[in-house]
Amino acid sequence: MDKKIHNWVIDKSFDYCYGHRVWSQTLDPKYSLDSCLACRHLHGHQGKVKLFLGANNLKHGMVTDFKHTNIFKKWLDDTLDHKFIIDMNDPLFEDLAGDLCLSEKNKRTFDDLMVTVNTEYNFAIPDLEQLMALNVWDELRDDQKQAIFEKYEGIIIVDFIPTSENICKFIYEVANKMLNGLGIDVVAVEYWETPKSHCRYQPN
């Protein structure tokens, strides 16, 4: 299927910080020149997202007002900025977020976790109220409670390996649903993990 052609395409960029771990990383040393799987480490990035918005006809002389992307920026700031993105099926999930596990499974769903699920955008956040209701919570010191609260407040749980490519697609799907009512198309999303590492998601 050919990609849809738009008469006008505008773009808007957004910055945010996040952490992740690419637990599936593999390398061919012939090309990588070493076998250090650094992306499997817990680490963070200063990310950049660019939305491309397209239309064939202008409304009030614009594709849309850039201010209409404020709703997306708020979601990005509230949901991903300064958060650790973790795949619920990461082999280290129980070590990193074991308090949330309702059962031990090799393949999890959100139903197996103590989380609040955003069904519209397909991600989850820890259910802090349910966590604090556990009997063991009362046995903790105040500083321990604060540390655990801060740990889980900073986690977003997804059902994919958080590579740049998958995060880019995830953000595209969120933006596409979020801006659908404007009568324009989210043409593509570009994503920078670092200033030199970039990907683009544009569905056919």
Cα separation, 11 vs 47, whole angstroms: 16
- Residue 183's φ and ψ, nearest 5 degrees, are 75, 25
Number of domains in the chain: 1
Residue 3 domain-assigned (yes or no)? no
Summarised one tens digit per residue, pLDDT across range 119-147 is: 999 999 999 999 999 888 889 999 999 99
**Mean pLDDT to the nearest integer, 22-51:** 97
């995830």: which residue's tokens?
A: 170
Q: Looking at the predicted structure, is the pLDDT value of residue 1 above 70?
A: no
Residue 56 domain-assigned (yes or no)? yes
Element (H, E) at 93: helix 93-97
What pLDDT score does 4 carry? 77
Residue 167 domain-assigned (yes or no)? yes
Q: Looking at the predicted structure, is the pLDDT value of residue 194 above 60?
A: yes
Name every residue whose Cβ is closer than 8 Å to that of residue 54 and which is 6 or more positions away in sequence. Answer: 4, 6, 8, 9, 10, 63, 184, 185, 186, 187
Are 54 and 187 within 8 A, CB to CB?
yes
Cα separation, 204 vs 202, whole angstroms: 7
Q: Looking at the predicted structure, is the pLDDT value of residue 118 above 90?
A: yes
What pLDDT score does 3 carry? 66
Q: Decide: helix, strand or coil at residue 62.
A: strand
Start-end of H helices in 133-186: 142-153, 164-178
Summarised one tens digit per residue, pLDDT across range 65-92 is: 999 999 999 999 999 999 999 999 999 9
**Mean pLDDT to the nearest integer, 165-175:** 98
Sign of the Cα torsion 63, 67, 73, 78 reads negative
DSSP-derived letter for residue 35 is: -
Give me 106's structure tokens. 């090799």
Q: Percent of the chain beyond pLDDT 90?
A: 90
Q: What's the chain's average pLDDT?
A: 95
Q: Looking at the predicted structure, is the pLDDT value of residue 63 above 70?
A: yes
Residue 1 domain-assigned (yes or no)? no
What's the CATH code of the domain at 33? 3.30.479.10
Q: Which range marks the domain in which residue 137 is found?
A: 8-201
């849309």: which residue's tokens?
A: 64
Length, in residues, of the chain: 204
Q: Percent of the chain beyond pLDDT 70?
A: 99
| Pick from 122, 190, 197: nearest CA to 156 | 122
Answer left, alpha or beta for residue 33, where phi above 0 means left and psi between -120 and 50 means alpha.
left
